[in-house]
Amino acid sequence: MIIDFTDEQVALRDTVRDFAKNRVAPRARRLDREQEFPRESWDDAAKLGILGMCAPEAYGGGGLGVTDMCIVGEELAAVCLSTTATLLHQADLVVARFVRHGTEEQKRRYLPGLCDGTLIGCLAITEPEAGSDAMSMRTRAERTDDGWEITGAKTFITTAPVADFALVYARTGEPGSRELGLFVVDLTAEGVSRGRSFHKMGWRGSPTGEFAMDRVRLPADAVIGSGTDGRAILMAGLNSERIVMAAESVGIARGALDVALDYARGREQFGRPISSFQLIQAKLADMFTGVAAGRTLTYATAKALDEGRGDGLTALASACKVFTSEVAAKATSEAVQILGGNGYTDEYPVERFMRDAKLMEIGGGTSEIQRHIVARELLHDRAVL
């Protein structure tokens, strides 16, 4: 290992690797085929402390950082990206919002249940007319005498079909302003209606859905922050989200390499293992190079974020995501090619890896958006190496 992990991080990696191999991997094929929520792995992960890993110990969490989340993400994604996405959506995108921006009362109300898995939350940004252009969202929250009233629709929301509540971004300022608020919305409340649960190309074991809100009344303490600082909260969470997604991409690429390498050693054609053919060797070498480069970039950026060196990290976080997501797409495709006809069947996991990897180039900001961000930061002299 060229990554300088602490003894505690090495122990975390080994624990999660064992969990991934013995508990998550055997369930992955069924989850993908039946498109079901990974309940067993969810409960096991809660017991291991994965769901609340970044929450303070006082609320039932582990007090860990972004680097630790990357370790967990890489190890889990090497066997099942659906399970990884579901668990880390809660751990990073939901729990971390309360940790960083919630009031003490909100932390005490929500974090224990989120950490032990009895509460399922989701983060809702995307709308039918607002994907990459998040600031064009139409969902609106208005102040009332005793709280807020929110109306709008959200789509492509991870775990929405099974979540108890959603953290919802909504417009709060005057028309034309860029003011947003972040609100806790009970998905069983009057005025909330859940829509479709999407049937997807990949991430089939991570339920994705939509919901609409029609004049849903919220109490005053349902807002996280001031009600006008939602844009700052949104932007503050993007770097960690993209770095963790990069680690997941590294994991799925590594998983594909592991399967392809094992297969190439054992599969014989023309009287010898296909691993002896130079074209196969070149594919394996390229896969390894991508994993090694992506891992190094991702963990260096995660460490910088944990150490508070935030200046210039926006470009690096986007660079992590765009590079590793494309490494994952290439590595999983090459793994299918190395396995040939076997790779195209679900008897081996690489066809699932290939389908799952595609979303890494889309979710959390497309590769096109990431390149735009990197270029913008460079042109404004905000990118550092």
- Which DSSP helix (H) or strand (E) runs through 186? strand 180-186
- Give φ, ψ of 321 to 5 degrees: -70, -45
Place of tokens 């953290």: 167
Rg (CA), the chain: 21
Q: For residues 193 and 166, what is the distance between their CA atoms, to the nearest angstrom?
A: 12
261-268 contacts at long range (C-beta below 8 A, 24 or more positions apart): 263/338, 263/339, 263/342, 263/348, 264/338, 267/339
The active-site residue out of 74, 127, 241, 326 is: 241
Known active-site residue 34: no
Q: For residues 339 and 116, what is the distance between their CA atoms, to the nearest angstrom?
A: 40
- Give φ, ψ of 244 to 5 degrees: -65, -40
**The residue count for the chain:** 385
Q: Which residues, 6 or more positions from 184, have their beta carbon under 8 angstroms from its beta carbon?
A: 106, 110, 165, 166, 167, 168, 218, 222, 223, 224
User: Closest by alpha carbon to 331, among 277, 273, 274, 251?
Assistant: 251
Q: For residues 127 and 189, what is the distance between their CA atoms, to the nearest angstrom?
A: 20
CA atoms within a 13 Å half-sphere pointing along the CA-CB vector of 183: 30
Q: For residues 149 and 283, what is the distance between their CA atoms, to the nearest angstrom?
A: 55
Q: For residues 157 and 350, what is the distance between their CA atoms, to the nearest angstrom?
A: 26
- The number of helix segments (H) and strand segments (E) in the chain equals 12, 10
Q: Which residues, 6 or more positions from 269, have their beta carbon under 8 angstroms from its beta carbon?
A: none
Residues forming a β-bridge with 121: 165
Q: For residues 123 and 166, what is the distance between their CA atoms, to the nearest angstrom?
A: 6
By annotation, the residues acting in catalysis are 241
